[in-house]
Amino acid sequence: MKEQVERICISVNTECNLGCKYCYFFNPENRILKESVLSVDEIFTILKNINEYSKNNYVKKAIKINFVGSGEPLINWDNIKKAIEKFNIIKVNEKVEFYLVTNATLMTDKIAKEMKQLNLFPSVSLDGYQELHDENRLTHNGAGSFEKTMNGINFLRKNNFRIAINTTVTKTLVKNIDNFFKFLQKNKIDKVIFDRLVDTPSDFEEMTYSEFYEFLLNAYRTKEKLNFKNIEIGNIEAYKKNFEGRPDKVCTMFGASCGAGINFLIYMSREVYPCGRMFGKDRWKLGNFEDDIEQLQNNMYAKIPNRQDCQECSLIKECVKDCLLEYEEENYSCEPRQKFINKLKIDLYEK
């Protein structure tokens, strides 16, 4: 059966009001080139193409469109809002859902209300309590952004949004995971998605692939131990979907399987790539923002390796697809992922 594109990220700008220490897009060693902001018409062109694509019979799952990427989307909220309003006039079905990832420092009551009206689900990048968050998420003057981010969350709460956060995993978080979950519980955070730090500036200590999987398991066990049943860990829910045979093929960093280029596309301003980490690399470029979605997906088929090791693996059903970029690393081994999947299966279904 033909594979479906199920998630599309759109990066509308290359500008940010913060300068987080770990941010890959503003890494001075690999700084993203400044592009002009996508206009309402350009965003609408992408949405029109998605509308056309959604008419295909094989498109059964909702297509999640997420405004996220190389900057802060709320700086250009007006363009996003107007493009969605135009899309709502021409949309042919209910197969498209809108999301947005933001640092929330520019959130206002008005924006929260507009999001509610557009049925767009925001997710806030919050690294935890003040000490954790302000360790890295700073303004260009070096001030912490915690209070402004929490203020933004309050506007969302006031407008009856479920509060979902994206948290990057740092060494400090690993050591303080109990306190992190206690903070979430106290502040009525409904959902967290843990994000593995990659491609950071060289003076920033990243976690290895294996450390990230150890962390995920420990985070799940800590939450269970604390009996915080109301807090959802998005990554673990994604693995459950894999185990139950209905995977979301988006990205192993936020979900459980890699869908780069086949199930997942990212528009980095006007260029389209299989994954944000491939941005600017000619070898991976799939096309431009005006291209048909199916054409972009077809361009990817020629680029993906045929993995024999996966065909022979006992976990093929549960793993679905590991990160394509990890696979290309010199010393790649999927052992940490296999170990994690086996242990999580026992925790979820046999304990």
The site for ligand SF4 (CB under 6 A) is made up of 16, 18-20, 23, 25-26, 71-72, 103, 125, 251-253, 258, 260, 264, 275, 277, 323-325
Site for ligand SAM in 103-122 (CB under 6 A): 103
Tokens standing for residue 223: 């939450």
Which of ligand SAM, ligand SF4, none binds 260 (CB below 5-8 Å, type-dependent)?
A: ligand SF4
Comparison of 59 and 107: residue with beta carbon closer to ligand SAM: 107
Min dist CB 137 to ligand SF4, Å, is: 6
- 321: nearest Cα among 256, 239, 243: 256
Which of ligand SAM, ligand SF4, none binds 49 (CB below 5-8 Å, type-dependent)?
A: none
Q: Is 245 left (phi over 0), alpha (psi -120 to 50) or beta?
A: left
Comparison of 211 and 291: residue with beta carbon closer to ligand SAM: 211
Write down the residue that tokens 């899309």 correspond to: 87
In b/e form, how buried is each residue of 308-323, taking b as 16+ CB within 10 angstroms?
A: eebeeeebeebbbbbb
Angle at which helices 209-226 and 177-186 cross, to 10°: 50
- Any contact of residue 199 with ligand SAM (CB under 6 A)? yes
Site for ligand SAM in 6-35 (CB under 6 A): 16, 22-25
Q: Is 222 left (phi over 0), alpha (psi -120 to 50) or beta?
A: alpha
Helix (H) or strand (E) holding 211, with range, is helix 209-226
Report the residue from 5, 12, 80, 101 that binds ligand SAM according to the rule CB under 6 A.
101
- Any contact of residue 125 with ligand SAM (CB under 6 A)? yes
Give the binding-site size for ligand SAM (rule: CB under 6 A): 18
Min dist CB 22 to ligand SAM, Å, is: 5
Which string of DSSP letters, residue by residue, matches 57-87? TT--SPEEEEE-SSS-GGGGHHHHHHHHHHH
- 116: nearest Cα among 158, 76, 88, 82: 158
Site for ligand SAM in 238-297 (CB under 6 A): none
Min dist CB 100 to ligand SAM, Å, is: 9
Q: β-strands 287-288, 232-233: how paired?
A: unpaired
Residues that bind ligand SAM (CB under 6 A): 16, 22-25, 68, 72, 101-103, 125, 166, 168, 195, 197-200
